[in-house]
Amino acid sequence: MPLALRFDGVEFAYPHGPPVLREIDLQVEAGEFLAIAGPNGGGKTTLLRLALGLEHPFRGRVELFGEPAERFHDRARLGYLAQRAQLGIQAPATVREVVAAGRSALKPFGRLGANDREAIDRAIDRVGLTAYATRPLTRLSGGQQQRAFIAKALVADPKLLALDEPIAGVDVEAQEALAELLARLHGELGVTILYVSHEFGAIEHVVERLVLVRQRIVFDGPPAQLPGVWHDPSHVHV
Amino acid sequence: MFEFEFMRLAFAAGAVVGLLAPVVGFFLVQRQMSLIGDGIGHVAFAGVAAGYLIGISPVWTALVAAILGAVVIEWLRAHRKAAGDQALALVFYTGIAGGVVLISAAGALNANLFTYLFGSILTVSRGDLLRIALLGLAALALVAVLLRVLLAVAIDEEGARVAGLPVPILNGVVSMLAALTIGISMRIVGILLIAALMVVPVIAAQRVAWSLRSTMGLSVAIGLGSVLSGLTVSYYANLPPGGTIVLTATAFFLVAAGVETVRGRL
């Protein structure tokens, strides 16, 4: 299988700050469903940002589908769900309007065509929100809002779906529903999924591979092989 | 009142500003930069003062100063030299201080200065109207062309960055549009009040709207309604137009807040 993502000897620190990531070597094949977990401040979100080319390593190399991540040419095909705190529109955007925004890099100007509208309908349908398509996001539950943003990430037919703390702020039932949704989407679409979370209980039964990060990668393998003491990622020691 | 040319010119210029200000304000409110208009307005005041000092039309020097102020605010934000509110405060106070010093140096602390600070729509000339219409329509056309990508950035800035949209440039465009709006609107509602006309219609519309599209449509309707009814009231009640327009917008906000409250109880 071709590689979707490759970290080669990557080190990273924010300006004037201590090292955040050290000696990161990681290869993710296209079509893999990978969970990246670790304690708060352990560097997992930074790792995701490096993968998406939003940050530059000060040592080493990050490649996305064989190209340097910062210069990846097909960025419109990267689906991304930011942490909820970063999603800050105040106007009552409907599900359809939010999902349509995910199509803007593919179709920045002019009216949306029939294929764009079909892609929007399909993405909304995939996350089970067709009945809510014209409702403002603010009138939906936390779990439904997350689904809408996942539909936004899916609407450009992504090669890679990157989710940053997708279960933060949603209840346990919604977390389990989200895990099932992602497993189904992975099965149907074969898209590479990077799932970043400070805890992985809700997702470990659906991911193929788990990477625990605390500055370094301290575990990389199937969740079933994870030593019991590490099931609480805050216990991960360097 | 339309038998007077100055009222016809006032309504025509006011219509352009009433249309443009909420459209630009919509993106400022979504970026939680509602006060940027005030910051840029105070820099525009320094521009007016510079115009008096060097003997150039204050309208043009204010426009240049407003655009420079917008660039500085966006640069400070983008390079994380200061948080959004700190960047605004820095530009806000520097602008007003610079304006006071320059206006004093020019010896122009007079009634004419007040027409820029609080608006003087009843003295709008045909030349003013032409300038307002051309620049206003150009700004609206730019928003129409960039509407989808501007909305994408407003909804999810980081997602837009990941997808490869030029987010810093688009944020810069919004700030520039705010500067342009202030530059062409200061004769209508004044430097000190134009920011209100950009923001108040939008926050009123958000109370009762059901989508982004309806928010933008209602914002424009409230902006336009505020300008046209504010002008009418100011004409018949002999009140200052700028202040009357903004108070009318505030009345729309109170009505919208009331509607939202009643709807919430049903």
Neighbours of B169 (CB within 10 A): 10
By DSSP bridging, strand A33-37 and strand A59-64 are unpaired
A-contacting residues in B 40-99 (Cβ below 8 Å):
none
pLDDT reading at A234 higher than 60: no
| pLDDT single digits (tens) A71-106 | 888 888 898 888 764 556 777 889 999 999 988 888
Among A56, A87, A90, A155, which would you mutate to test the B interface (most chain B Cβ atoms within 10 Å of its Cβ)? A90
Percent of chain A with pLDDT over 70: 92
CA A119 to chain centre: 20
Look up residue B77 and give its amino acid.
Answer: R
CA nearest A159 in B: which residue? Answer: B163
| CB-based contact A150:A195 (threshold 8 Å) | no
Question: Of A7-11, A73-77, A109-113, B116-120, which one has max mean pLDDT?
Answer: A7-11
ipTM score of the complex?
0.85
CB atoms B159 and A82 under 8 Å: yes
Query: Which of B28, B15, B13, B21 has the alpha carbon at shortest distance from B140?
Result: B21
Mean pLDDT of A128-141: 88
DSSP 8-state secondary structure symbol assigned to residue B30: H
Cα dist from B225 to A13, B78, B231, whole Å? 53, 35, 10
Q: Which of B149, B161, B202 is opposite residue A108, by nearest beta carbon?
A: B149
Question: Using CA atoms, how far apart are residues B175 and B93, in angstroms rounded to an integer?
Answer: 18
Neighbours of B117 (CB within 10 A): 17
pLDDT reading at A180 higher than 60: yes
Domains and CATH numbers, chain B: 5-195 (1.10.3470.10)
pLDDT of residue A52: 92
pLDDT of residue A51: 92
pLDDT of residue B254: 95
Higher pLDDT, B77 or A192: A192
pLDDT reading at A125 higher than 60: yes
pLDDT of residue A4: 86
CB atoms B30 and A91 under 8 Å: yes
pLDDT of residue B81: 58
Place of tokens 């099932």: A180
Query: Which of B138, B250, B188, B192 has the alpha carbon at shortest distance from B18?
Result: B188
pLDDT of residue B190: 81
By DSSP bridging, strand A78-81 and strand A67-68 are unpaired
pLDDT of residue A231: 61
pLDDT of residue A237: 46
pLDDT of residue A69: 87
pLDDT of residue B120: 76
Domain with CATH 3.40.50.300 in chain A: 1-74+159-238
CB atoms A97 and B160 under 8 Å: no
pLDDT of residue A229: 59
Query: Which of A28, A30, A3 has the alpha carbon at shortest distance from A191?
Result: A30
pLDDT reading at A233 higher than 60: no
Show pLDDT as tens, one digit a residue, over chain B (266 residues): 777 888 888 889 889 989 999 999 999 888 777 777 788 888 888 888 888 888 888 888 888 888 888 888 878 777 765 565 777 788 888 888 888 888 888 776 666 677 777 777 777 788 888 988 999 999 999 999 999 999 999 888 888 999 999 988 998 899 889 988 988 888 777 887 888 889 999 999 999 999 999 999 999 999 999 999 998 998 899 888 888 989 999 999 999 999 988 887 77
**Residue A204 Cα, gap to closest chain B Cα (Å):** 26
Q: Tell me if chain A has a CB within 8 Å of the CB of B212.
A: yes
CB atoms A81 and B32 under 8 Å: no
Spell out the CATH class of A1-74+159-238.
Answer: alpha beta
pLDDT of residue B111: 60
